[in-house]
Amino acid sequence: MGLIRNKTGAGFCLIQFQRRPVQQGMTTGFPDQYLVLDCQSTGPRPTRDRLIAVTLTLIEQSKVRNQWQTLINPQMRVADRSFAPLGIANGDLDAAPDFASIASLLETMLTGRVLLAHHARLQYAFLKQEFRRVGVRFNARPICTLKLLRQLLPGQQDYTLNHLCSLFGISASHYRDIAQNSDRLVQLLAALERELPAAQLESAYRSQLSHRALPAAISKQMLDAIPDLPGVYRFYGDNDRLLYIGKSVGLRSRILSHFNQDHSDHREMRLAETVQRIEHELCLSDFSAQLLESEQIKALSPAYNRRLRRTQTLWQIVLKPDANGYLGISFVSAGMDEPDLITQRYGLFRNRTQAQQRITRLIDEQGICRKTAWLEKGALGKPCFGFQLHRCRGACCGKESPKDFNARLLAAMDKLRNQTWPWQGPVLVEESGDARKDLHLIEQWVYYGKVRGQDKAHERLASDERPAFDLDSYRILLRFLSDETLMRTNRLRIQPLFKEDTPQ
């Protein structure tokens, strides 16, 4: 049972939604039978917000055969003004059933049906999350009418329901109602059936049926132009705003994965909802793709990237002896233009807190005295708190010698030792592809970019514009150049820039 609006617009009454056999024919371009789905929620995030209304309109042979709708108690309080356009308030929701109460009926009505919805990705995400909360694995593949209308009515200034309805003289209802959007969408689909050839409608419908995972603005042709090869891709939104930069050894597959698994991740959901176009750059291997991705994220600051952002300051650890010969720990900011000094110190951290937490955890694992290592304040010569808990061997109170303490501290610090540059000077990393080779200039783990031959490499090194040390590039270079398997897989070969340069 559900709540249905009376045709007069006043109040709700109970109705049994009649289930009929699904018809497979297409007499007017659209299926002979389908459901128009419309959901209303407390906010835009399916993982956090809740449904407050669902409307299902059954269309058979281009006619409305039934309409089922219900308010849903979201079991959370939301400002009444949020529901003002729907003509409902918190009091109405308090009296409504919760989703668990209608889940079984709703699943029965939806299962096996052809579903059409405006912004289908978002509507489906809310339904899927609500079913998941009550332990039901709900799966469907709704057709997005926004995508369908982009294909049928190209070149519009926007594809909001208001604008599209205005093209066909469909006005908003004179009363506020949770079914208003659903009613207008039904009228819009009916107008399309009157105005456009059935063959055109059927072609567009079948095209959307085959590519339901794609966002509304991304066509199959756009995706087909992207090869499944290594490279970097960029998502752009409205007004050409850069949304996201990513990399992959298979660009097309990776891009599709953004759109196939976004129902439980608000960030992926928003990305798929807002992307308008995609650019890509091919690379020879994963090696150059990772370097290019890191470089572009720092230079272009896309809205949705969290990792690989530019770090202005890095923190490191140095060891200094006290008056009694015990080594203590100090934190220093790294000079980004001094890569040789950076690799001689311990650790690389994006902030001081991260450095403190890491080294504290490390020395606690080894039973090293925090106070003696300058990580904890306390009176000299007196046992620290850790000693009383048998977590310290007594360097704080003279029970562990400087020699033994320092040896254990240095052994622990080995886990944070940075890799020193193994060549006497700069090197060229040759990356081979089927049709070309690229040369990457690197010195002291600093990536200078691609160069065309040794002469250009020398010019680049002599330039006053020298790149700063970058933590992400360092980790990428270290991972690839220290692993023989990755070197072979990515077809990399190291060429010392000077003949006398050999690994140290």
**pLDDT tens per residue across span 25-40:** 445 678 888 999 999 9
Name residue 445's amino acid. W
Rg (CA), the chain: 31
Predicted local confidence at residue 237, as pLDDT: 94
On whether both 385 and 404 belong to a single domain, the answer is yes
Q: Domain for residue 309, yes or no?
A: no
The residue out of 277, 300, 323 marking a domain boundary is: 300
Q: Are strands 63-71 and 242-248 parallel, antiparallel or unpaired?
A: unpaired
Lowest mean pLDDT among 74-83, 392-401, 425-434, 463-472: 74-83
On whether both 382 and 445 belong to a single domain, the answer is no
Nearest Cα neighbor of 210 from 155, 268, 144 is 144
Q: Domain for residue 501, yes or no?
A: no
The residue out of 391, 416, 441 marking a domain boundary is: 416
240-245: average pLDDT: 97
On whether both 162 and 183 belong to a single domain, the answer is yes
Give the chain's domain count.
4
The total number of residues written for the chain in this structure: 504
- Alpha carbon 277 to its chain's center: 17
Please list, in sequence order, all residues whose beta carbon lies within 8 angstroms of the beta carbon of residue 297, skipping any fewer than 6 positions away: 245, 305, 307, 308, 309
Using DSSP, how many helices (H) and how many strands (E) does the chain show? Answer: 18, 17
On whether both 364 and 475 belong to a single domain, the answer is no
Q: Domain for residue 421, yes or no?
A: no
Nearest Cα neighbor of 307 from 476, 479, 431 is 476
Rounded Cα gap, residues 92 and 72, in angstroms: 9
Rounded Cα gap, residues 503 and 423, in angstroms: 4
pLDDT tens digits, residue range 328-345?
A: 999 999 877 778 788 889
pLDDT tens digits, residue range 400-428?
A: 999 999 999 999 999 999 999 999 899 99
Q: Kindly list the strands in the beta sheet with 231-236, ordered across the sheet, starting from the edge strand earlier in the chain.
A: 242-248, 231-236, 277-282
* Phi, psi of 241, rounded to the nearest 5 degrees: -70, 130
Residue 335: how many other CB atoms lie within 10 Å: 13
Of 50 and 173, the one with more pLDDT: 50
Residue 2 contacts residue 70 (beta carbons within 8 Å) = yes
On whether both 373 and 447 belong to a single domain, the answer is no
Domain extent for 234: 220-300
The residue out of 375, 396, 416 marking a domain boundary is: 416
On whether both 358 and 487 belong to a single domain, the answer is no
Check residue 136 and give left, alpha or beta (phi > 0: left; psi -120 to 50: alpha): beta
Residue 138: how many other CB atoms lie within 10 Å: 17
Q: Domain for residue 68, yes or no?
A: yes
Q: Kindly list the strands in the beta sheet with 427-432, ordered across the sheet, starting from the edge strand earlier in the chain.
A: 446-451, 437-443, 427-432, 492-496
Rounded Cα gap, residues 444 and 72, in angstroms: 62
Predicted local confidence at residue 28, as pLDDT: 64
Q: Supply 401's token pair.
A: 């010698």
Predicted local confidence at residue 14, as pLDDT: 35
DSSP state of 400: S
Q: Domain for residue 307, yes or no?
A: no
Name residue 299's amino acid. A
Nearest Cα neighbor of 342 from 414, 465, 480, 445 is 445
Rounded Cα gap, residues 394 and 401, in angstroms: 9
CA distances from 285 to 291, 303, 313, 473 (A): 10, 26, 30, 16
| Position 441 pLDDT exceeds 90 | yes
Q: Supply 453's token pair.
A: 């031959």
Residue 52 contacts residue 79 (beta carbons within 8 Å) = no
On whether both 140 and 76 belong to a single domain, the answer is yes
- Indicate the SS3 state at residue 57: strand
On whether both 326 and 450 belong to a single domain, the answer is no
On whether both 204 and 247 belong to a single domain, the answer is no
Q: Domain for residue 244, yes or no?
A: yes
On whether both 353 and 371 belong to a single domain, the answer is yes
CATH number for the domain harbouring residue 265: 3.40.1440.10
On whether both 409 and 324 belong to a single domain, the answer is yes
pLDDT level of residue 83 (50, 70, 90 thresholds): low
Q: Domain for residue 189, yes or no?
A: yes
pLDDT tens digits, residue range 134-145?
A: 999 888 888 899
pLDDT level of residue 76 (50, 70, 90 thresholds): confident
Lowest mean pLDDT among 112-126, 175-189, 286-300: 175-189
Rounded Cα gap, residues 153 and 148, in angstroms: 9
Nearest Cα neighbor of 255 from 245, 242, 266 is 245
Q: Supply 321's token pair.
A: 């002896």
Q: Supply 374's token pair.
A: 């300058």
| Position 266 pLDDT exceeds 80 | no
On whether both 22 and 160 belong to a single domain, the answer is yes
Nearest Cα neighbor of 218 from 203, 242, 235, 193 is 235
Residue 427 contacts residue 494 (beta carbons within 8 Å) = yes
Residue 302 contacts residue 330 (beta carbons within 8 Å) = no
Q: Looking at the DSSP assignment, which residues form a beta bridge with residue 315?
A: 333, 349
- Indicate the SS3 state at residue 420: coil
Q: Domain for residue 166, yes or no?
A: yes
Residue 199: how many other CB atoms lie within 10 Å: 9
Rounded Cα gap, residues 30 and 62, in angstroms: 8
Predicted local confidence at residue 15, as pLDDT: 37
